[in-house]
Homo-oligomer: A and B are copies of this chain.
Amino acid sequence: MAETSNKADYLVGVDLGGTKILSGVFTTSLKCVGRSKMSTKAERGPEAVVERIAHCVQDVVDECDLNLKQVRGIGIGAPGSVDPENGKVMFAGNLGWKDMPLKRELEDHLGLPVFLGNDCNVCALGVHEVELEGKPKNMVGIFLGTGIGGGLIIEGKLYSGFNRTAGEIGHMLLEVNGPKCTCGNRGCWEALASRSALFRQVQQAVKDGQKTLLTSMLGDDLRDLRSGDLRKAIKQGDKFVEHIVEEAAKYTGIAVANLINVIGPEVVVVGGGLMDALENEMMPVVIETAREHAFPGADKGVKILPSKLGDDAGITGGAVLARRETK
């Protein structure tokens, strides 16, 4: 519970995903004082989603015994291709959005300044500022979830490149004739090591007759499979699941090595829901494989760390964005 104050001393961070909206209230020193969660319901259309975001923000502010006047600004990370300057989501496949003026719409609803960024960029900002205290000059943030995304901090600042697509690291091709990816290519990192890739491999193998504890846990169709189930199965000695997760960790280690060779970061942070659920199983393999594959000398002194922020990375980064923009 936050102390009552009449000054606009709070920040709100929002993480807009294809299935859920997370919001969090933060102090200006970036301490989280409350969280709220709501389903996105993208199928109801953009207007309804904007209302739900506004609702989720109002809920969390009220939950903290605050009112909107005490909020200085709102930072929001949105999926897909985002234009931060104009506050627009240019394209977001999983929301079915195109050219959506999210900043303006939310400002109309809430009467507060809203700042927008790509979801993985915003997560990287949160990790850099809160988890690493803004220290590394150059950082790569990797987020393993349904897909794989990234955010780059270069010379201390979020870097998004010419088309604001820098950090589309999930579509780095690692295996020329590898499995098909949603982007149309084959062998992208995302098609080899994301949660969707793991689930697809498990489901295909079960269909082909593979025995696994997962079916006794969840039934043959594995409809409700979650990342945590993979961890449980491994803990119970399921060698098949262990192997699939280990392969994904190896590909991730190779991708980390590629990123170290190309970008030369001081720190690589690996986060996201999949890593959160399988950190103990994946992270040692990721680090070992990355060190093996980095160009000699390129990984010297480079830290490869799991993110501790987990699901909070997005709302934290949103608060960082809001703080930066309202300073």
Contact = CB atoms under 8 A, between A and B. Distances in A.
Contacts of A173: 174, 254, 257-258, 293
A183 interface: yes
Contact of A167 (B160, B169, B262): B262
| Oligomer copy total | 2
A171 B138 contact: no
A175 B172 contact: no
Interface string A121-151: 0000000000000000110000000000010
A281 interface: no
A297 B169 contact: no
A77 interface: no
Contacts of A67: none
Interface stretch (A36-44, A194-202, A236-244, A298-306): A298-306
Contacts of A297: 81, 90-91, 163, 165
Interface stretch (A27-35, A207-215, A263-271, A316-324): A263-271
Contact of A301 (B137, B162, B296): B162
Contacts of A172: 258, 261-262
Nearest to A254: B173
B264 A162 contact: yes
Contacts of A160: 264
A171 B261 contact: yes
Contacts of A169: 261-262
Contacts of A185: 292-293
Nearest to A166: B264
A220 B206 CA distance: 53
A167 B261 CA distance: 7
A64 interface: no
Given A161-B265, A168-B261, A259-B262, 13 more contacts: A150-B262, A155-B155, A162-B264, A162-B266, A163-B264, A165-B261, A165-B298, A168-B262, A168-B264, A175-B176, A176-B251, A258-B258, A263-B263
- Lowest 7 CB-CB distances: which A-B pairs, in order? A161-B264, A166-B264, A165-B298, A162-B266, A168-B261, A171-B295, A168-B295
